[in-house]
Amino acid sequence: MPDCLDTLRKLKENIAKVIVGKEQTVELLLVCLAAGGHALIEDVPGTGKTVLAKSLCASASLTFSRIQFTPDLLPSDVTGLNYFDQSKSRFVFRPGPVFSHILLADEINRATPRTQSALLECMAEHQVTVDGQTRALEDPFFVIATQNPVETLGTFPLPEAQLDRFLMQISMGEMSEEEELLMIDRFISHEPLQELAPCCGIDEILTLRRKCRKVYVHPDLRRYITQLVRRTRDLSGGPGPAGRTAGGSAGPGPSGALDASGDSAYSGVSAGLISSDAAAGKSFPDPAKGPAFFGAFAGRIPRMEEGVSPRGTLALVRSSQGFALLRGRDFVTPEDIQACAVPTLAHRCLSDGISSAREREDRILTALLQTEVPTENWNRG
């Protein structure tokens, strides 16, 4: 672990030569890098989102590409395309910007949803499929996306499927008066970003990611993470998944009522749901009772309509491992989970209505307060 801690320390110190303050934001970005996830940096224009992303890219000896997302950007501008080469009399593939180690997707929510979706396969599976042919992306592959708040003019909200691909959503936050004065002193006569030199290479980043996967998570903490995520699904206060109540597992029977056991009363089938033609030897659903039957069947498969998805559970495990590694430990503590909960889970929190970022964060904080924290009286074995 000392080598990994040294790599993270060098990256943090190198970025600090450009970025004034923002220690927590920088640490969370490094957690994303170590955990093998992707980072979404959201804040108003002019807060240093792009500068932070470029500072990390300049600190590592990795290939780097940048895409400035605009409303007229096409999916092929991101992934690449096949074009006809007359000199070779055949189609040739021209790789897009995603074929790099670090991709900066600047102002990602200024592009249309069609173009935003071009990154789904890249981020989740580290591959690109164009015209039926799949090509693997380089390892490591790390997407740093920046976006302005949805209220900003000319933006398209990222769909839930796209948000779920980001390990963390990070905010730059407000600078103090002293930090703003220091920023003026640092940038008044020269450009620190142009003078930034790499401090680590591809082998160190790959080692960092391998070691992160080996950080120990005790079974009690795994259960704590599971309970925390499931708690976010129970905080809606209204009906839970289809055919179930928020606090129980009861489902509707064929007549729309709940049976005592909470399961659908399939005995209704023998009570006349299925009509039969004895002479012809055929049976078929009674049209008058068909809707009730299918409603009962749907109640057997609960759907998650609110809260954090199971992918968020795995994301919190990965981010907690990365945070522990950043602190120089080879095991996760409850404090690591709590530190990563809001940036990892808030943007994944599904809701019936359109909720603000603050409301999503409040739901995660409420879940933290209502979930029992494991004590320290457990053995590692």
Domains of the chain with bracketed CATH: 2-213 (3.40.50.300), 215-236+306-376 (1.10.8.80), 243-300 (no CATH)
Check pLDDT > 60 for residue 129.
yes
Check pLDDT > 80 for residue 270.
no
In one-letter notation, the amino acid at residue 345 is L
The predicted-structure confidence for 187-206, as pLDDT tens digits, reads as follows 888 888 888 888 888 899 99
Nearest residue to 214 (alpha-carbon basis) of 73, 57, 87, 329: 329
pLDDT band at 150 (very low <50, low <70, confident <90, very high): low
Cis peptide before 113 (omega within 30 of 0): no
Q: Regarding predicted confidence, which is higher, 270 or 319?
A: 319
Integer Cα distance of 201 and 5 in angstroms: 15
Looking at residue 138, its pLDDT comes to 87
Collapse the DSSP code of 93 into the 3-class scheme (helix H, G, I; strand E, B; otherwise coil) and give the result: strand
The predicted-structure confidence for 236-258, as pLDDT tens digits, reads as follows 543 333 333 333 333 333 333 33
The values of phi and psi at residue 236, to 5°, are: -75, -30
Q: Regarding predicted confidence, which is higher, 44 or 235?
A: 44
The structure tokens listed for 325 are 């590694």
Q: Regarding predicted confidence, which is higher, 311 or 381?
A: 311
Q: 248: buried, middle or exposed (CB in 10 Å: 19+, 13-18, 0-12)?
A: exposed
Is the full-model pTM beyond 0.85?
no
* Torsion of the alpha carbons at 345, 351, 356 and 359, rounded to the nearest 10: -70
Contact predicate 297/222, CB 8 Å: no
